Amino acid sequence: MSDNDAQPGSYVEAGEFKRDTNYITTRITADGRDGYPVEAGRYRLVAARACPWANRTLIVRRLLGLEDAISLGLCGPTHDQRSWTFDLDPGGVDPVLGYERLQQAYFARIPDYPRGITVPAIVDVPTKAVVTNDYAQITLDFSTEWTAFHRDGAPDLYPEDRRDEIDEVAELIFRDVNNGVYRCGFAGSQEAYESAYDRLFARLDWLTGRLRGQRYLVGDTITEADVRLFTTLARFDAVYHGHFKCNRHKLSELDVLWAYARDLFHTPGFGDTTDFVQIKQHYYVVHTDINPTKIVPAGPDLSNWWEPHHREQLGGRPFGDGTPPGPPRQAEQVPAEHWLPPQAS
């Protein structure tokens, strides 16, 4: 399999897609216990807007206001068998790391690194070596270890008194939704596909029930759990419904989840980090085993993301006692035509 999300090391067993979850688990912490202390300006987050796992880090970094503390390098939406590449930058070279390929940062840490070259990854700029690609831990550490560099008014995305519930909900979402769409798309047998399909939509039905009477997944504010669900929902109609055969319903046909997703999309940090053009390019061009022609579909019309959601009627405080982030920095803005409706872009 050629996709970062179904990276080398992932495999199909008895027709079922198995994700390689062996990541570089070194952590950047306030006390530096793994040898990498929190330090403003030292680390570079390398991400790709196309990737749902990387998109999480872009959302959390922006919500918490970590732009000054952690610089951002963006890879293009497509890649080859070897690595994500910095083809969006002048000359195809990351201006801070001096690399053409993210693979070079992995090899700087572990020569001949044998696993998938994945985003997101955090790179230690002085050594130009990857510190971690453990995407699930990266966002939690942004919330808990980088507090000294949070902006004034940053929300608490991982409140201590809610962590057990957040972790429980997030695990169910990962198993059946985040990874579930891939288990559908890369299934090697009809039986494995139908099993994954049933689990995916059963979990979406469960989420519908949970969100029918409350605005967010855990408590009355946005948490890490909402970030983790959003990036899959944002890609559902654009990619997963057709490309991965997750086609019982479109997201836009599921009233509760559709309104919930739009509510987040309209929230600063979510929609403005979503690049529908790059998302479609990535999946339809890179997954040649599923789409050998590499034709990127013209549809669907995604302007419906801007329809009113009315979820504010449920109450809730998106940022708790905090405030929304300001506008994204000019250098980090998603092109307007990639996420705004035509009349606005």
List strand residue ranges (DSSP E) for the chain, in order: 11-13, 16-18, 43-47, 71-74, 121-124, 129-132
The alpha-carbon radius of gyration of the chain (Å, integer) is 19
124, 43 in Cβ contact below 8 A?
yes
The verdict on whether 184 is a catalytic residue reads no
Give the tokens for residue 112. Answer: 């001949």
With CA atoms as reference, report the closest residue to 205 among 263, 267, 262, 253. Answer: 253
The amino acid occupying position 226 is D
Two structure tokens written together for 165: 């519930």
Residue 8 CB: number of other CB atoms within 10 A? 17
What residues contact residue 129 under an 8 Å CB cut-off, 6+ apart?
Answer: 105, 108, 109, 123
Catalytic residue status for 182: yes
Residue 72: CA count within 13 A, CB half-sphere: 24
Closest CA to 21 of 11, 33, 36, 34: 11
- Residue 84 labelled as part of a binding site: yes
**Which of 158, 182, 240, 283 is an active site residue?**
182
Q: How far apart are alpha carbons 336 and 334 in whole angstroms?
A: 6
Token duo for residue 217: 């997944």
What DSSP line would sit under 5-30, residue for residue? TT-BTBEEETTEEE----------BT
291-299, Cβ contacts within 8 angstroms, sequence gap of 24 or more = 291/243, 297/242
Which segments are annotated as binding site?
Answer: 84
Which segments are annotated as binding site for glutathione?
Answer: 84
Residues known to be catalytic: 51, 182
